Amino acid sequence: MNTLGQILRELREAQGLLLRQVAAVLEMDTALLSKFERDERKPNKEQVLAFAKYYNVKADELLLAWLSDKLAEEVQHEDLAQEALKQPKKS
């Protein structure tokens, strides 16, 4: 699965847009948008929703990638991370 940053870059490039064009519309710094696309910084939930609206994609698609990135970052150094993610949730 692609990271949120990879997805954002693909969406922008597919529409033939420059970083500065997207950043201007979403009222953010071009450098910040670039960091999002390179996975050096993570957008907050509101920013993810703004990206979904701007690129006219389902919010759930971007939110799923955002949450996946957050989970992966949280458990990346844990030996049992992959096994834990496969465990069914207990109520």
Query: pTM, whole model, 2 decimals?
Result: 0.83
65-74 long-range contacts (CB < 8 A, ≥24 apart) are 65/1, 65/2, 65/3, 65/4, 65/7, 66/4, 66/42, 68/1, 68/4, 69/3, 69/4, 69/5, 69/39, 69/42, 70/42, 73/42
Counted domains in the chain: 1
| pLDDT, tens digit (0-9, with 9 covering 90-100), for 54-86 | 999 999 999 999 999 998 887 767 777 667 666
Range of 10's domain? Answer: 4-76
Domain assignment present for residue 86? The answer is: no
Domain assignment present for residue 52? The answer is: yes
| pLDDT, tens digit (0-9, with 9 covering 90-100), for 31-62 | 999 999 999 999 999 999 999 999 999 999 99
Domain assignment present for residue 44? The answer is: yes
Q: What pLDDT does residue 81 have?
A: 65
Domain assignment present for residue 85? The answer is: no
**What's the CATH number where 47 sits?**
1.10.260.40
Band (10; pLDDT cuts 50, 70, 90): very high
Domain assignment present for residue 91? The answer is: no
